[in-house]
Chains A and B, each alone.
Chain A
Amino acid sequence: MVLGFGAWFVASRTHVEAELSRLLPEGATPTERLLLTELRTGATGRLIIMALEGEDADLLAGASKQFAAWMRESGAFQYVGNGEQAWTKEERERLFQYRYVLSSSVQASTFSRDHLRDSLELRLSDLTSPLSSMVKELIPVDPTGELIKILQAWMTWTAPTRHQGVWFSSDLRRALLLAETQAAGFDMESQEQLQGQIREAFRRVTGASTAAAPVHLVMTGPSIIAVEMQQTIQHDVWRLSLWATLLVTTFLFVSYGSVSILALSLLPLTAAILAGIAAVDLAFGFIHGMTLAFGITLLGVVDDYPIHLFSHLTRESRAPAVMKEIWPTMRLGVVATALGFSALLLSGFPGLSQLGLFAVVGLFTAACVTRWVLPHIVPIGFHTRREGLHVAQWVDALTRARLVVPLVVVLAIGSFIWSDTPLWEQDIANLSPISTEMKERDQVLRNELEVPDVRDLIVVEGASEEEALQRSETLALALDPLVEKGELAGYDFAARYLPSRKTQQARQASLPDRETLERNLTSAMRGLPFKSSLFQPFLDATGKAKTQEPVDMQAFRGTSLGLKLDSLLFMHEGRWAAVVPLRGVTDRQKFRELLMPWRGQEVSYLDLKEESNRMVSLYRNETLRLLGWGVLSIGLVLLVGLRAPVTVLRVMLPIGSAIVVVAAVLHAVGERFSLFHIASFLLVIGLGLDYALFFNRRHGTLAERGRTVYGLVVCSTTTILVFGVLALSQIPVLRAIGMTTALGSLACLVFAALLAESPEKPFLLAATSPK
């Protein structure tokens, strides 16, 4: 039911934020912030990799061409690549025109007599090739072979296999395409819409051929995975909440035998959710989908309030009077739980703060509704049909077995000490709901297209594009020896394709003037069979290159190289960053040390995997710390409210024991703890507090105690049903929350019963119910 509401709200509210990163800390250093922003909004996140799968390679090639043509025309993509002409005619000409500033081999000696002679001899051997017609047109304009040197230097990317001019996997069963969307990767709505259009276009393109030789479309990429993930979660949540709602409704109906009571029990929760959303929206300007989902989960505790009221109603009593009687206990529970939740409010993390505010406001709203609204609308004369006397008797019997609790706790602690399963989940990847199938598909396509997922990178910053490029050029000089020594397999950087202005100008300066060049050339040509005026175009080209404007990023816009440059060099908050992705870092620790001298020069090394894991651990530890503060403040409130340390202990002890035991059980079944387990423990504390307070409430008659216990069993069963269903989810996060809370609720109830006041010594409870 709780989840049903969650899903309904998520679906109906349009300005619910879906982007997870808005909940994450913004990064400790400017570099991290910049990187996070780029990962979210930059070219990396906008990448879509597509494969057309089928048996007939010729058919696939045709489909790839049509499909790519549609994509280029749609205007939704900045770049579409499928292997067909990587460069337009203009782009090729531009590249050729700038060869003397782009080629790293251009220096003064390139145009010396001796060097020219060597080059000319190589060109002669080119002409002995039967395919010389492919190169010969270049010889008069580019005798030193600069264009070929540029292409060679840029060939760090091995293009995939080609068939009929389009990219294919090596077995020719997949035609491969690569695209960069106009929409940002995190813009889930646009991405989802776009993906729908892509599938629609694919159906049109392959419509005719599907019967004979079926062609399948496979897509991957950050935005594809994100959309798919969201759909998986939504689907799972819907399915599970349907089951949970059904189970809980049936259960409550059986318990109270009244439809109107059933409806009324939803009132406080609904009010709580609405108030929570309003408060968060007011304070933060937006509410994140995750806040909503987790918030509603945390508010599950307020469903207990109306149940307490209903359980205490008798044939004779009037609801407002009953309410007044149980209010002190309930109030104490509300205040203490709210304090626990408010610890979240004080954290520096936007996500947790939202959650805290949502839960606290919701809690108070639900309490107020239960206290002042509900008693007046409960049908007069309603009472539970069951007195719960036998339940009370069982509980009384249970108190005789209270020694079980310390025994179980000792066992639990022992199992922790002796276990060698890691306590914490260190790898964020294990928390993600991405299916193995999806991960594998991503890997396969990335490998085939040679666009690996980058793990290690260096970020070089600068006040301007030029400064960032210059710094990365200096860095490259330090990286090259590492590549030679084998400590690094390779690296990529923007200045390889787009040298800094400084470098370009140095190359221009190294071009000799026309007379010198002509003299060197004439001398170099002596004795070689080249026609005498053959190299006139070469002399013209160098003369022109000497004075032309340097190349900038604009020159490559909309090409595959432009796509690469966009992801390697970009502006963030007025500063420029050049990213240097590294391949094959053998020893990360050593590498870090090697880069030490570069620190403080706006050069930072990042291990993305470690970085994201570190961030998650940070988040988790913060939550853990807040949990501690929450427990402490709950203790203090109880002390003030109950005024008897022994009773405080009596209330806190079952909760503490339950948490230890549940943790041990989860640990024993192989669960590793994450942020989500800890957040669930907070909910368990809220629930446990409620149970323990009511158990320790002064019971007048046996019948009264029976009603209390009956109410508690109903509360607990409801929780266990909802979260037990959640525990069946395939999504790790939902399963973690479900298992922890369901087990926690059960343990809290049992332990609270075990440790409750024995009926023989009622005087200890005097303080619980102040007059």
Chain B
Amino acid sequence: MTFGKSNGSCSLRLPALFLIWLFLPGPAPMSLAQSSPQSEREAGSTGWNVEQLIKSLAKNRQAEVRFEETAFSNLLTQPLKTQGILRFTPPTGLEKHITAPHDERYLVEGDTVLFESKTKGTNRTLSLHDSPALRAFIEAFRSTLGNDVITLRRFYSVTLQGEPRRWVLILRPLDKAVQELVESIRFSGEREQVSSIEILAPDGDRSVMVITTGAQ
């Protein structure tokens, strides 16, 4: 348990909390690539690197994909599953729309985030200026899928493992405040397609988002 047993002395992260009630469940991500049969082209190329991967992801990105997400938490006896749609409208728009089991939407546009939950009856807008942590979190997806390596490297140390045919892109936050929330974000994929995104928290909790299909 991460939480102190004595409730009076727990150290609360108030700034984070202010953010959360605006933003409750999870914010974030975006879209991905799919398709594109240019496959083998660069397979054996020795110059294959982060820049090239991100460039090809952007080139082959689809506007809309479906996802299935599984959250593992040490508070729970079994994981939680959600489904939804990710949309990416370059260069700055990003939307995560959870459709089941509840309806919730996070819409990033430029420097603002809109949080909308029918279940909770919430509809709020938040400025990214107010939360560097949230900004960093969003850039993990926006920069990766928007071919903006410079911004990405401002917030994360970026490592690329594997080969063009099967790769894992690992982002580790540089900022201390973000490190408290996120240990790493892992994009896994084959060629120009992202197949899953895994977010690891420092306390061992994690969520795995699997990209199932491209929406029509």
| A interface, CB within 8 angstroms of B | 85-87, 89, 92-93, 96-97, 122, 124-141, 147-148, 151-152, 159, 161-165, 168, 172, 529-531, 534, 536-537, 540-541, 544
Select which of A122, A124, A128, A162 is within 8 A of B69 by beta carbon: A128
| CB proximity to A under 8 Å, residues B109-130 | 119-120, 127, 129-130
From A165, which residue of chain B is reached at the shortest CB distance?
B132
| Chain B residue contacts of A148, Cβ below 8 A | 17, 20-21
Task: Determine if B150 is an interface residue (Cβ-Cβ < 8 Å).
Answer: no
From A536, which residue of chain B is reached at the shortest CB distance?
B5
B98 to chain A, nearest CB (A): 7
Indicate the member of B12, B202, B207 with the most A CB atoms within 10 Å: B12
Given the known interface contacts A96-B12, A130-B207, A134-B181, the answer about A124 and B26 at a Cβ–Cβ threshold of 8 Å is no
Q: Which of B45-53, B57-65, B73-81 contacts A (4 or more CB under 8 A)?
A: B73-81
A selection of 5 A-B contacts at a CB cut-off of 8 Å is A93-B10, A96-B12, A130-B28, A137-B2, A540-B7
From B77, which residue of chain A is reached at the shortest CB distance?
A529
The 3 A-B pairs with the shortest beta carbon distances in the complex, nearest first, are A129-B26, A129-B25, A130-B26
| CB proximity to A under 8 Å, residues B157-216 | 180-182, 199, 201-203, 205, 207
B126 to chain A, nearest CB (A): 11
- Write the B131-156 contact mask toward A (1 if CB under 8 angstroms, else 0): 11010010000000000000000000
Give the size range of B's interface with the partner. Answer: 35 or more
- Whether A137 pairs with B21 at a CB distance below 8 angstroms is no
B110 to chain A, nearest CB (A): 13
Select which of B19, B24, B130, B134 is within 8 A of A126 by beta carbon: B24
Select which of B2, B7, B11, B78 is within 8 A of A136 by beta carbon: B2
A148 and B181 CA atoms in complex are apart in Å by: 19
- Whether B12 pairs with A92 at a CB distance below 8 angstroms is yes
A450 to chain B, nearest CB (A): 14
Indicate the member of A92, A125, A540 with the most B CB atoms within 10 Å: A125
- Whether A93 pairs with B3 at a CB distance below 8 angstroms is no
Q: 9 other contacts beyond A128-B71, A168-B129, with CB at 8 A cut-off?
A: A87-B14, A96-B7, A128-B26, A131-B181, A132-B25, A137-B10, A147-B12, A161-B130, A163-B129
| Chain A residue contacts of B182, Cβ below 8 A | 133
| Chain A residue contacts of B132, Cβ below 8 A | 164-165
B106 to chain A, nearest CB (A): 9
Given the known interface contacts A132-B71, A147-B17, the answer about A125 and B102 at a Cβ–Cβ threshold of 8 Å is yes
A559 to chain B, nearest CB (A): 12
- Whether B201 pairs with A531 at a CB distance below 8 angstroms is no
B61 to chain A, nearest CB (A): 20
- Whether A125 pairs with B77 at a CB distance below 8 angstroms is no
A537 and B77 CA atoms in complex are apart in Å by: 18
A-B interface contact total, Cβ < 8 Å: 143
| Chain A residue contacts of B12, Cβ below 8 A | 92-93, 96, 137-138, 147
| Chain A residue contacts of B26, Cβ below 8 A | 128-132
B138 to chain A, nearest CB (A): 11
- Whether B75 pairs with A162 at a CB distance below 8 angstroms is no
| Chain B residue contacts of A531, Cβ below 8 A | 75-77
- Whether A530 pairs with B19 at a CB distance below 8 angstroms is no
A174 to chain B, nearest CB (A): 13
From B183, which residue of chain A is reached at the shortest CB distance?
A133
A620 to chain B, nearest CB (A): 48
A590 and B181 CA atoms in complex are apart in Å by: 52
Given the known interface contacts A148-B17, A152-B21, A529-B77, the answer about A136 and B205 at a Cβ–Cβ threshold of 8 Å is yes
- Whether B5 pairs with A537 at a CB distance below 8 angstroms is yes
- Whether B17 pairs with A151 at a CB distance below 8 angstroms is yes
Indicate the member of A135, A163, A540, A541 with the most B CB atoms within 10 Å: A135
Select which of B5, B77, B130, B205 is within 8 A of A132 by beta carbon: B205
Given the known interface contacts A97-B8, A126-B25, the answer about A134 and B13 at a Cβ–Cβ threshold of 8 Å is yes
- Whether B129 pairs with A140 at a CB distance below 8 angstroms is no
- Whether A128 pairs with B205 at a CB distance below 8 angstroms is no
| Chain B residue contacts of A141, Cβ below 8 A | 3, 7, 10
A147 and B7 CA atoms in complex are apart in Å by: 13
| Chain A residue contacts of B18, Cβ below 8 A | 151
- Whether A124 pairs with B80 at a CB distance below 8 angstroms is yes
- Whether A122 pairs with B20 at a CB distance below 8 angstroms is no
From B202, which residue of chain A is reached at the shortest CB distance?
A133
B203 to chain A, nearest CB (A): 7
From A141, which residue of chain B is reached at the shortest CB distance?
B7
- Whether A92 pairs with B14 at a CB distance below 8 angstroms is yes
Given the known interface contacts A164-B132, A165-B132, the answer about A128 and B25 at a Cβ–Cβ threshold of 8 Å is yes
A133 and B134 CA atoms in complex are apart in Å by: 13
- Whether A130 pairs with B27 at a CB distance below 8 angstroms is yes
Given the known interface contacts A92-B14, A122-B120, A134-B16, the answer about A129 and B24 at a Cβ–Cβ threshold of 8 Å is yes
From B25, which residue of chain A is reached at the shortest CB distance?
A129
A148 and B18 CA atoms in complex are apart in Å by: 8
| Chain B residue contacts of A130, Cβ below 8 A | 26-29, 137, 199, 207
A540 and B28 CA atoms in complex are apart in Å by: 35
Given the known interface contacts A130-B199, A151-B18, the answer about A137 and B77 at a Cβ–Cβ threshold of 8 Å is no
- Whether A128 pairs with B75 at a CB distance below 8 angstroms is no
A741 and B24 CA atoms in complex are apart in Å by: 69
| Chain A residue contacts of B75, Cβ below 8 A | 127, 136, 139-140, 530-531, 534
| Chain A residue contacts of B15, Cβ below 8 A | 85
Given the known interface contacts A151-B21, A529-B77, A531-B75, the answer about A133 and B129 at a Cβ–Cβ threshold of 8 Å is no
A136 and B27 CA atoms in complex are apart in Å by: 15
Indicate the member of A127, A139, A147, A544 with the most B CB atoms within 10 Å: A127
